[in-house]
Chains A and B, each alone.
Chain A
Amino acid sequence: MSRQLHFFYDINLEFDTPVTEHAFTLRCIPPSFPGQEVLDVTLELEPGVPYTRQRDSFGNLMQIGRIAQPHSHFRYTVHGSARLDLEGRRQEADTPIYRYPSAYTTPSPAILACHQGLVLPENPAEKAWALAQAVAARMTYLPGVTGPSTTAAQAFDAGQGVCQDYAHLYLTLARLSGLSARYVNGLTEGEGASHAWCEVWLAGIWTGIDPTRNQWVDDSYLRFGVGRDFGDCPIERGVFLGQAIQRQTVFMKVCQ
């Protein structure tokens, strides 16, 4: 069983006054790996500047470039198709960094107390599932409360957040429970915005789990990047010169 997905992802950053010296790093092209075969992909940039491809230390594809001239918007559009097949996943060696806390996933006393109160099964897969239930029980999905720099500790205190916060809280608890777990971002079938979920290293296979939707990941999740947390693999990061106010519009569509 496999599923072929067509994806379209379009981000437009508008600046109310022109900016210059805009350096960017994108991680907006899904890579191919066992279980995810990218059949074709196109990236378009506006303004149309050249970019360099690199892989970061987490294995993610990066597109790196710079717009020196004044510009009032920066738009990147990626589209293509990919074949997803969970059965195709291969065993991989564990990476110890995913067992340790990171900037976004450092447990606070409140999270430690919560973790101590959990009764978890011994079996790693059952444990991974139970942790997703624990996150779901403590969090309410509500956009606008948290932001890109919100840590798991802050989101836990708020009890509210979006997929990024669910993922960070899940990772914090999973690592406290002795699991190797990593942050994933990408797209899922449907329309809207990008999504974040987690992967847990179970019997040698990085197995996806989505704490926001409280379900195991299936063939409808297209992976862009992985890392210890959001900070390692943002889809777009940039800095520029100028005092502009930035407005971002996102359009995303994934269908069979």
Chain B
Amino acid sequence: MDSMIRHKEQINQQLARYGVKFGIYKNGAFHERFFPYDPIPRIITAQEWRVLERGLRQRVDALNHFLRDIYGPKRILSDGVVPEDFVYRSPGYLPQCEGITPVGGIYSHISGIDLVKGKDGAWYILEDNLRIPSGASYPLIARDLCRRCSPDTFRHNGVLDNRNYGQLLRKTMDSVNTGGIHVVFTPGRYNAAYFEHSYLAEQAGAVLAEAGDLYVRDCTLYYRSIQGDQRVGAIYRRVSDEYMDPLTFEPESLIGIPNLMAAYRSGNVAVLNAFGNGVADDKGIYYFVPKMIRYYLGEEPILHNAPTYLPFYQEDMHYVLEHMDTLVIKDVAEAGGYGVIFGSNLTSQALDELKRSILTQPRRFIAQEVIDFQDLPILDGEVQVERKADLRAFVLTGADEITVWPSGLTRFSRNPDSFIVNSSQGGGFKDTWILSH
């Protein structure tokens, strides 16, 4: 461990040299900055990991069942487990996907599940990210650099090797590939996660492509290469649904592939992740995930949600209005740590305004108990301090297996008073060690 700390500056310099950057939009302008790395790893024991692994596989399995059901028979709605309002009013629900079955029936191939560890030692799910979750490349490249700076550390501690993420991604893409090359599709240089797109393409043996590099002919996707046009069998796209096909979604999109939807509908290309997944990682739908696990799998959820209230239900509305000052209120339409309001931080006037919004638009909000989560040590200069941190676990689902990457992205808040750890809000990251014992 001491050796890791000694190498902090060296690692951060290496990260800078390799261009491990994170883009951020502030006041309308694009800035790139380094994603600060902290050398003290989060350590998860083998025993604890076994539970997390089982729980994460179970959760993602249920979420894929849900997506298949929603864009198909909708049994969970007709059986009254999820009110239809939460599906049909969700901005992530895309009726253009009704009746389309993706290759292998998989919707969420790469899932980023955010968890926190409470002071009681239990893990809680904060949110599911089933669209284009980012962040796997940071711990991946940091580990690689750490091993170079301090090989002994990994010889003497039984840490599971996490450098197989590229192979896992490759295997997942292989399992749904319809015959052709693998492509990682990026919106381009000015995207927040461009570094990651290029890195993952290299790691997975895929071609990195932008809008002009791909086209659809005869409902088949092609990549223009210098050796001639090549058929694409699987596209890992890092562009949001609404910009992916200007002939189906946002007509003004210049970063999409015209008629990609036709190729997808024909089953001629696998799209990772599938279109329309936003309906399952909506903050309102989050409340129902434990119910989905029972409904589709007939199992008790292994991992728990943070205690959540839906003002949509009368009894919850009452509780929320009475306990606003101790709850965290989330606007379901916002992402990336935006639209998260701690009742305790509000003036009484702002509190009243929020109450009025909740009363007039109950479907728009969820309320959660503030989880007292464990702080992790980080180095602030030479001093070790405690900060809030979460864990994004990456779950890869192929046509025949669900694998949890034995690592993850641990993000921490640099502000001692903040519970929000999203990288777009200025946090840093550290490595996550899964021990083999």
Contacts and interface: CB of A to CB of B under 8 A. Distances in A.
Interface of A: 21, 23-25, 50, 52, 54, 56-58, 62, 64, 66, 68, 96-97, 99-100, 228, 232, 237-239
Given A23-B216, A25-B247, A239-B246, A58 B95 contact: yes
Interface in B97-116: 97-100
A237 B248 CA distance: 9
Interface residues of B, number: 23
Contact of A52 (B99, B218, B251, B258): B218
B75 interface: no
Given A64-B219, A237-B247, A228 B259 contact: no
A86 B96 CA distance: 28
Q: Is the interface of B mostly helix, strand, loop or mixed?
A: loop
Contact of A239 (B88, B218, B247): B247
Contact of A57 (B88, B100, B219, B247): B100
Given A25-B262, A54-B262, A57-B96, A96 B84 contact: yes
Contacts of A58: 95, 98
A91 B217 CA distance: 38
Contacts of B218: 50, 52
Contact of A54 (B96, B246, B266): B266
A81 B88 CA distance: 37
B265 interface: yes
A239 B89 CA distance: 29
B215 interface: yes
Given A57-B95, A64-B259, A239-B258, A52 B219 contact: yes
Contacts of B89: 100
B259 A25 contact: yes
Contacts of A97: 88, 95, 98
Contact of B219 (A21, A54, A96, A238): A54
A75 B265 CA distance: 26
Given A50-B218, A66-B216, A24 B100 contact: no
Nearest to B251: A237
A238 B259 CA distance: 9
Nearest to A62: B262
B88 A100 contact: yes
A100 B251 CA distance: 22
B84 A23 contact: no
Contact of B262 (A64, A68, A96, A100): A64
Nearest to B259: A23
19 contacts: A23-B247, A25-B247, A25-B262, A52-B262, A52-B266, A54-B262, A54-B265, A57-B95, A62-B262, A64-B219, A66-B215, A96-B84, A97-B88, A97-B98, A228-B95, A232-B95, A232-B96, A238-B247, A239-B246
Contacts of A66: 215-217, 258-259
Contacts of B217: 66, 68
Contacts of B258: 23, 66, 239
Nearest to B93: A97
Contacts of B98: 57-58, 97
Nearest to A23: B258
Contacts of A228: 95
A57 to B, nearest CB: 4
Given A25-B247, A96-B84, A100-B89, A57 B215 contact: no
Nearest to B71: A57
A24 B262 CA distance: 11
A100 B98 CA distance: 16
A68 B224 CA distance: 13
Q: Which 10 A-B pairs have the closest CB atoms?
A: A23-B258, A57-B98, A100-B88, A25-B247, A64-B262, A97-B95, A239-B258, A52-B219, A23-B259, A237-B247
Given A21-B215, A58-B95, A99 B262 contact: no
B213 to A, nearest CB: 12
A66 B229 CA distance: 16
B64 to A, nearest CB: 20
Contacts of B259: 23, 25, 64, 66
Interface in B239-253: 246-248, 251
B251 A57 contact: no
Nearest to A25: B247
A228 B89 CA distance: 13
A100 B87 CA distance: 10
A21 B216 CA distance: 10
Contacts of A64: 219, 259, 262
B332 to A, nearest CB: 15
Given A66-B217, A239-B258, A56 B96 contact: yes
Contacts of B248: 25
Nearest to B265: A54
B1 to A, nearest CB: 54
B266 A96 contact: no
Interface in B213-230: 215-219
Q: Of residues A99, A228, A237, which shows the largest number of chain B Cβ atoms within 10 Å of its Cβ? A: A237
A117 B233 CA distance: 55
A62 B273 CA distance: 25
A181 to B, nearest CB: 14
Contacts of A23: 215-216, 247, 258-259
A81 B89 CA distance: 40
A57 B97 contact: yes
Contacts of A232: 95-96
A238 B99 CA distance: 24
Nearest to A64: B262
A66 B262 CA distance: 12
Contacts of A21: 215
A54 B247 CA distance: 14
A237 B246 CA distance: 9
A26 to B, nearest CB: 10
A72 B123 CA distance: 62
B276 to A, nearest CB: 10
A219 B116 CA distance: 62
Contacts of B266: 52, 54
Contacts of B84: 96
B222 to A, nearest CB: 11
Nearest to A99: B88
A64 B219 CA distance: 8
B215 A24 contact: no
